[in-house]
Chains A and B, each alone.
Chain A
Amino acid sequence: MTLLENKPADIPAPREITTKPRVSDKIFRGVVTAGGLSSLVILGFILIFLAYQGYDVLKAQGFGFITGSAWNVFTDESGNIDYTQTKFGIAAMLIGTILCATIAVVIAVPISVLTALYLSFYAPATVKKFMIAIIDLMAAFPSVLFGIWGFFVLMPSAEYWAKLLHKYLGFLPFFDMQVPVYTRSPFIAGVVLAIMIIPIVTSISREIFGQTPLDRIQAAYALGATRWSMIKAVVIPYGRSGVVGGAMLGLGRAMGETVAVYTVLNIVYQINWQVLLGAGGNVASMILLKFGEAGTGEIKALMAAGLVLFLLTLVVNSIADLIVKSTGAKGR
């Protein structure tokens, strides 16, 4: 065994492998990296410009901007905002945003998860392909379409459902009603938003369920599991957190929706917890509503509101993204 005897006495340090990229590759990498960083630049600029424009308002209102619920504009003779009297507060609209988006998630998530389960484990191959295409198509529909369809087609039915909810579940505080105005309520806006986020929650849930290790699914079946007991024992423990992430992503989408909410919701500047009552709003649709008649000073307040909305959706989306990714990466 000469080879063994010739073994060097000590192990050499690993050599460092270096490559000197060619000039063309350097340029290529530079250009691509610059392109890749553009998302950072754009997001950064959004933050900077909205903050810059909204700075005056935020400074004058302080925390009152997100805790107050008044939106009264007073101007002096020259048309400038009189900050001593003017009140900008978006609390009512923030609550409306969260309320509508929550209703949407509460309705959409069960439907989406059931749909994803159907597509992953029940549907015959041909049906599956067709349904996936249909749901993806729904994700591509513009929001103005959902809004107008919601206004003309869904509203009459949804009003009826709202009345049923009030009649049979009226003892729950949020289904309570003093004034019987069922049209254009947060409930109806929530239903429209739910329909809009069903595609995204469904496709994320389906993706997560599709990653369930096949050997575990087969092991469960080989133990005599029915489809449902297999899902309960294998798929749900695996995909649970991913579905939570998908739901949050849907929540983020629902929070930022403008046109559809504007169309079906009666925007009233007050805090309203009664989901069936025809009064509410969300930050995005409020911006659209106020923009038309706003002067320069008020537009700054709208910029500040946009900043708050931007940060809110950014946080929700980021958390959602982290949850979905960690589900995909983990082995269990």
Chain B
Amino acid sequence: MSTVIATPKPGKPWTATPQQRLITASIYLGAVLVSFTLVAITPMKGKLAYFVVFFFSSLLIDFILSYIQRGMASAKDAIARGFVSVGMTLAVLPIFSILFEVVKRGYKGLNINLFTKDMSLTSVNDPIGNGGLIHAITGTIIMVAMALIVAMPIGILTAIYLTEIRGKFAAPIKFLVQAMSGVPSIVAGLFILSAYVYPITGALSGFAGSLALMILMIPTIARTSEEVLLLIPNDLREAGVALGGTQWRTVALVVVPAAKSGLVTALILGIARVAGETAPLVLLTGGGEKVNLNPFDGPMGSLPIYIWKCFGQGTEESIARAWSGILVLLVIVLALFISARFLSERKVAK
């Protein structure tokens, strides 16, 4: 037996070698060539034609190559690989298109006035610099914050009921929370209209809007919090109780703190869920053009309504305004989403 002194370098012999990568690359190159030729010599035209021809020709080349090298099973595997890859591409294509188009069409409308002025003195044909969406931003912040104040305790209590108390209603409540997450947003709007606006105030207001947002927020917060609390190991709970803690103290001092960042993630996702909600606000808020800081009195603007109105007005300027409004909304949603990701990553790392 030969003595081996040095440990060899770890490797992954199962990953593709440069040579295999070259073959893969040449398959795609060949498919590109085929698609250009076919599109040129046949009446087929357009992006769609390139895409379709490229897909089928690369599939065919891959199929034949795999068949020659390894037989039928492998050839079928190649076909399946082609299809799942194209499925993935189709699924993410819209999102890249959305991000690209929103930035491309929205950045022109960005200026400082957007964040300092409202639309009260601006007409639909005014140039972009006139007017802004400060009324919409303040309105959205106020409404979402008010919705959060109610939805947060309800959502988290629901999650605690499901994971800590596990009473006899646990199964039906889980089911109802799921059902609630499927309530169409327009129905939530109609409900507040019928239960709050008509019988009580008789007038549209920001508060009515935030009530509808609350209904849409609760299931998101409850479900995410439940997932987070389920990740807390049972040992922690048992340790808390074994130390003589009551259930209330164990939950308040052990379980909830351990899940803190996850619960914050749940709140952020709840905010992201409703920040762009449009339909109920159209019914409930009146959508004012002026900064209004009192949610109980008078119409209140919001970002989605701003976008909605500008889009509906249809002039060139207002469409441009709509796109910049979308850009602002998208940035907010992205920021919320990324911070939620960041927090949940940290939770996993710990």
Q: Is chain B in direct contact with chain A in the complex (CB below 8 A)?
A: yes
Q: Residues of A with Cβ closer than 8 Å to B?
A: 21-22, 24-25, 27-29, 31-40, 42-43, 45-46, 49-50, 52-53, 110-115, 117-119, 121-123, 131, 133-138, 140-146, 148-149, 151-154, 157, 160-161, 164, 195, 198, 202, 226-229, 231, 249, 252-253, 255-259, 263, 284, 287-288, 291, 299, 302-303, 306, 309-310, 313-314, 316-318, 321
Q: Are A112 and B91 in contact (CB under 8 A)?
A: yes
Report B67 CB to chain A, min CB distance, Å. Answer: 12
Q: Residues of B with Cβ closer than 8 Å to A?
A: 46-48, 73-74, 76-77, 79-81, 83-88, 90-92, 94-95, 97-98, 101-102, 105, 153-154, 156-158, 160-162, 164-165, 167, 169, 172-173, 175-188, 190-191, 193-195, 198, 215, 218-219, 222, 246-249, 251, 269, 272-273, 275-279, 282-283, 304, 307-308, 311, 322-323, 326, 329-330, 333-334, 336-337, 341
**CA–CA, A251 to B79, complex, Å?**
29
**CA–CA, A331 to B91, complex, Å?**
30
A–B Cβ pairs within 8 angstroms, 9 of them = A33-B165, A36-B169, A39-B173, A115-B90, A137-B334, A142-B278, A256-B185, A313-B184, A321-B175
Instruction: Note all chain B residues with C-beta closer than 8 A to A113.
Output: 87
**CA–CA, A110 to B333, complex, Å?**
28
5 extra interchain contacts, Cβ-Cβ under 8 A, other than A142-B304, A146-B98? A40-B176, A117-B87, A148-B311, A227-B81, A317-B181
Q: Are A287 and B186 in contact (CB under 8 A)?
A: yes
Q: Are B101 and A149 in contact (CB under 8 A)?
A: yes
Q: Are A138 and B95 in contact (CB under 8 A)?
A: yes
Q: Are A226 and B95 in contact (CB under 8 A)?
A: no
Q: Are B195 and A45 in contact (CB under 8 A)?
A: yes
Instruction: Note all chain A residues with C-beta closer than 8 A to B47.
Output: 157
Q: Are B276 and A142 in contact (CB under 8 A)?
A: yes
Please tell me which one of the listed residues A110, A122, A148, A229 contacts residue B326 in the complex, with CB atoms under 8 A apart.
Answer: A148
Count of inter-chain pairs, beta carbons less than 8 A: 276
Q: A42-B215, A259-B279 are in contact. Are A141 and B333 (CB under 8 A)?
A: yes
Report A97 CB to chain B, min CB distance, Å. Answer: 10
Q: Are A256 and B184 in contact (CB under 8 A)?
A: yes
Which of B81, B105, B186, B219 has most chain A Cβ within 10 Å?
B186
Q: A33-B167, A49-B194 are in contact. Are A144 and B184 (CB under 8 A)?
A: no
